[in-house]
């Protein structure tokens, strides 16, 4: 009997496995090419980056990164010759192009804004979301289903539609172009997702744990803090990653509501231009620096991520 069931559909045949493997690997390799190209371009010199045919092998250079972090001005050859010898690699490269470094660019402050706004809003969204999810999970809240649907429906609004009244409101409150305003906005957008995801995770934790703790003399809050939260850490981590990815990647609100001091990296990177159009190595360098944190997150926490995505889908 064991011989006849050995060839079951549940265990796919070797041939079908091989075909599947070839197709999947081919797709994965093709889909990763644009990212590899971004990475490669960031180490090209501007002439190399716009060569035809596109250069696959090239002499790596950090000129793109130099251009990303600095602003430069064109100078006469005599002026450059009169300067003391270049102190750094970036100095040298810039002078070869008949330019001198004028100062740091806006990239670093924009990147720091991204960090502050993304982490700040993620913390707030997960904090509020955990509380609300526990509330919805454990108590009979009047109209709970309607409230939950309402929370979710706020995500259906096109960001531009939300941005119009938010723009006016922030102008009245003096929150325009401020990190606080962006943190509040991203928290509001993320909290809906956080409540939904976390409610699923908390629903899975047996009530009996808290009830036992409360019989032992814990208050409701203590039981929540000492019994439920430690059990929910995986779920909280997964939710936090989702919120972080959203806030880190967000463009529409950032482009419309910030312009200067609170501008994040996504609206800034497309505006990096050199002489005569977009400075592609610098854009690629900025993109690489911007993508690395998310890539690291994705690879380190892929298990939680997978669970979060599929879980969020299965629940609704």
Partner 1 sequence: MTDSKTSPLDRAVEAVARSTHSKLVKRVTGLSDRMVAWLFIGPTMLLLLAINIFPLFWAIGLSFTNYRANRPNEPVEGVGLRNYERILTDPDIWIAMQTTANFVFWTILLQTVIGFGLAYLIDRKFRGHAFWTTIILVPMMLSPAVVGNFWRFLYEPQIGLFAYAVSFVSGIPPTEIEMLSNVALAPWSIIIVDTWMWSPYVMLICLAGLRSIPDYIYEAAEVDRASPIRQFLSITLPMALPFIMLAILFRGIENFKMFDMVNLLTGGGPGSTTEVASITLKREAFEKWRTGYSSAFAIILFVAVFGLANIYVKALNRVKQR
Q: Length of the chain in residues, anyone?
A: 316
Neighbours of 172 (CB within 10 A): 8
| Of 93 and 210, CB closest to partner 1 | 210
- Is residue 299 a contact point for partner 1 (CB under 8 A)? yes
- Is residue 295 a contact point for partner 1 (CB under 8 A)? yes
- Is residue 207 a contact point for partner 1 (CB under 8 A)? no
C-alpha span between 242 and 61 (Å, rounded) = 35
What is the Cα Rg of the chain in Å?
A: 26
Closest approach of partner 1 to the CB of residue 205, in Å: 15
| Of 49 and 70, CB closest to partner 1 | 49
Q: Binder to partner 1 among 280, 282, 285, 304 (CB under 8 A)?
A: 280
Under a CB-based contact definition with an 8 Å cutoff, are residues 125 and 243 in contact? yes
Of 227-256, binders to partner 1 (CB under 8 A) are 245, 248-252, 255-256
- Is residue 292 a contact point for partner 1 (CB under 8 A)? no
Closest approach of partner 1 to the CB of residue 298, in Å: 5
Q: Which stretch binds partner 1 (CB under 8 A): 62-70, 80-88, 183-191, 229-237?
A: 183-191
- Is residue 267 a contact point for partner 1 (CB under 8 A)? yes
Q: Binder to partner 1 among 85, 103, 158, 260 (CB under 8 A)?
A: 158
- Is residue 261 a contact point for partner 1 (CB under 8 A)? no
C-alpha span between 129 and 193 (Å, rounded) = 8
Q: Binder to partner 1 among 28, 57, 81, 143 (CB under 8 A)?
A: 28
Q: Binder to partner 1 among 93, 99, 101, 191 (CB under 8 A)?
A: 191
Of 3-22, binders to partner 1 (CB under 8 A) are 5, 8-10, 12, 16-18, 20-21
- Is residue 96 a contact point for partner 1 (CB under 8 A)? no
Closest approach of partner 1 to the CB of residue 284, in Å: 7
Of 32-61, binders to partner 1 (CB under 8 A) are 32-35, 37-38, 41, 49-54
Total residues at the site for partner 1 (CB under 8 A)? 103
Q: Binder to partner 1 among 71, 233, 259, 310 (CB under 8 A)?
A: 310
Tokens 């450059």, located at residue: 80
- Which pair of structure tokens corresponds to residue 265? 């990296």
Under a CB-based contact definition with an 8 Å cutoff, are residues 193 and 155 in contact? yes
- Is residue 215 a contact point for partner 1 (CB under 8 A)? no
How far out from the chain centre does Cα 65 lie? 21
- Is residue 193 a contact point for partner 1 (CB under 8 A)? no
Closest approach of partner 1 to the CB of residue 154, in Å: 5
- Is residue 166 a contact point for partner 1 (CB under 8 A)? yes
- Is residue 188 a contact point for partner 1 (CB under 8 A)? yes
91-125 burial by CB neighbour count: b if 16+ within 10 A, else e? Answer: bebbbebebbbeeebbbebbbebbebbbbbbbebb
How crowded is the C-beta side of 74, counted as CA atoms within 13 Å?
2
C-alpha span between 310 and 316 (Å, rounded) = 10
């Amino acid at each position: 009997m064991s011989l006849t069931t050995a060839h079951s559909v549940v265990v796919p045949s070797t041939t079908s496995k091989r075909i599947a493997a070839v197709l999947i690997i081919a797709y994965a390799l093709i889909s990763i090419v644009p990212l590899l190209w971004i990475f490669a371009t960031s180490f090209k010199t501007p002439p190399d980056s716009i060569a035809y045919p596109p250069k696959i092998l090239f002499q790596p250079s950090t000129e793109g990164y130099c251009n990303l972090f600095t602003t430069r001005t064109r100078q006469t050859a005599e002026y450059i010759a009169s300067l003391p010898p270049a102190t750094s690699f970036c100095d040298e490269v810039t002078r070869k192009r008949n330019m001198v470094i004028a100062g740091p660019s806006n990239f670093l402050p924009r990147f720091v804004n991204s960090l502050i706004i993304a982490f700040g809003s993620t913390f707030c969204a997960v904090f509020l979301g955990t509380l609300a999810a526990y509330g919805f999970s454990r108590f009979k809240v009047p109209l709970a289903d309607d409230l939950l649907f309402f929370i979710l429906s706020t995500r259906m609004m096109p960001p531009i539609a939300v941005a119009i009244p938010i723009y006016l409101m922030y102008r009245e409150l003096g929150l325009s172009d401020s990190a606080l305003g962006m943190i509040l906005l991203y928290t509001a957008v993320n909290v809906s997702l956080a409540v939904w995801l976390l409610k699923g995770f908390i629903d899975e934790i047996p009530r009996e744990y808290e009830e036992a703790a409360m019989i032992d003399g814990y208050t409701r809050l203590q039981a929540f803090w000492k019994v439920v939260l430690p059990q929910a850490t995986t779920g909280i981590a997964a939710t936090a990653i989702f919120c972080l990815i959203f806030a880190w990647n967000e463009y529409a609100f950032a482009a419309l509501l910030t312009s200067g001091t609170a501008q994040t990296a996504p609206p800034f990177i497309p505006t990096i231009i050199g002489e005569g159009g977009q400075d592609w190595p610098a854009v690629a360098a900025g993109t690489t620096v911007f993508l690395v944190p998310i890539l690291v997150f994705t690879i380190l926490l892929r298990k939680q991520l997978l669970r979060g995505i599929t879980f969020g889908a299965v629940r609704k």
